[in-house]
Amino acid sequence: MLTGIVIDALDVVRMERFWLDATQGRTGGLHLRFEPTTKRKPTHKNRLHLDLAGGPDWRAEVTRLLALGATRVDIGQGDVPWDVLADPEGNEFCVLRPGHPGVLADWGLVAICLDVGEQDKGAQSAFWQSRADWHAVESHEWGVRLRPSPTSTVSLVMGPPAAPKAVRNRLRLEVTCPGGEPGEFSDADGNEFHVTHFVG
């Protein structure tokens, strides 16, 4: 079952504080876990990022996130119905405006976005449906959306364009399961993910 996201961090305490304040604890049941690293984020866009629903007053939400330490970034997005920001260590994330496809709630973590090449959508969808125990609820040219249930406010969106895979991903999915070997593995497109055991 998909239960969280692992994020490499130069300053774990600062990053934990930023993301707790940014999401205000509303993460659709997903756990954000931070692992210490000495490596700075590469200049290219991460293959995995988070989308937050900005709500009706999305401009104020963007202002609030900037005050917490986020910055505006340009990754070539052009004129789009969302704002692209970066956390204090440069990891991109988006603030979606009302009416954006897939936003079922006005607040909280609404999407985990994983870059997938056009030719890899089917294989990645099948792979993550089996690992995450989530189900495909949409399939379009822009990609595939998985949810743990039809009404869940959190989803995994996979689609193009895919950023080049040159180094280990800075953000990685985490799967919790009752059996199997814990550790770090790779999906069908070479993206690392973590496997842990149920606790208790």
- Best CA proximity match to 132, nearest among 190, 193, 50, 51: 193
Q: How many CB atoms lie within 10 A of CB 167?
A: 10
Q: What is the mean pLDDT of residues 71-76?
A: 93
Q: Which is it for the CA torsion 163, 166, 168, 174, positive or negative? A: positive
Q: What is the distance between the alpha carbons of residues 84 and 182, in angstroms, rounded to a whole number?
A: 34
- Chain Cα centroid distance, residue 167: 18
pLDDT of residue 103 exceeding 80: no
Backbone angle region of 55, left / alpha / beta, with phi > 0 → left and psi within -120 to 50 → alpha: left
pLDDT, position 58: 94
Find the domain containing 17 and state its range.
Answer: 2-197
Percent of the chain surpassing pLDDT 90: 66
CATH number at residue 31: 3.10.180.10
Tokens at 109, concatenated: 């973590």
Tens-digit pLDDT profile for residues 120-132:
888 999 999 999 9
Tens-digit pLDDT profile for residues 7-61:
999 999 999 999 999 999 888 889 999 999 999 999 989 999 999 999 899 999 9
| Alpha helices by DSSP H, the chain | 12-23, 58-68, 121-132
- Chain Cα centroid distance, residue 151: 19
Q: Domain count for the chain, please give it.
A: 1
- Select the more confidently predicted residue: 122 or 107: 122
- Best CA proximity match to 27, nearest among 56, 58, 60, 51: 51
Q: Which is it for the CA torsion 70, 73, 77, 81, positive or negative? A: positive
